[in-house]
Amino acid sequence: MLQTTTTLGPAPTVRLSGEVDLDSADVLRAAVAEAARGARNVTIDFADVKFIDSSGTGVFVRLCLDLRSQGVAVSARDLPPQVRGVFDMLRVRELVGDEVFASA
């Protein structure tokens, strides 16, 4: 189960906690879309993510690409080893760009 906490402001942050997978895809999409509304950038904090699979990774990639096309920059930070490992295996940096992980 995924829980999100959003810190609003000119540069909102969405903090994720739990599991990012197919079952939580809608929660992730909704939280990030809401945070990005009217913002120029949004940060997604993965510090408390215990598990991520290819479905959750796909949602993250799609969010990054969709928001970029809308002029909103996405940053990912505090990736735990299990998230970093899946992202490396699926070559997420190649899909979304190194700039997303500048503060990771």
pLDDT above 80 (res 103): no
Task: Kindly list the structural domains of the chain, giving each domain's residue range(s) and its CATH number in brackets, ordered by start.
Answer: 2-101 (3.30.750.24)
Nearest partner of 86 among 54, 61, 55, judged by Cα: 54
Mean pLDDT of the chain: 94
pLDDT above 80 (res 102): no
Read off the pLDDT of residues 6-53 as tens digits, 9 standing for 90 and up.
Answer: 998 889 999 999 999 999 999 999 999 999 999 999 999 999 999 999
pLDDT band at residue 67 using 50, 70 and 90 as cut-offs: very high
What is the pLDDT averaged over residues 79-98? 96
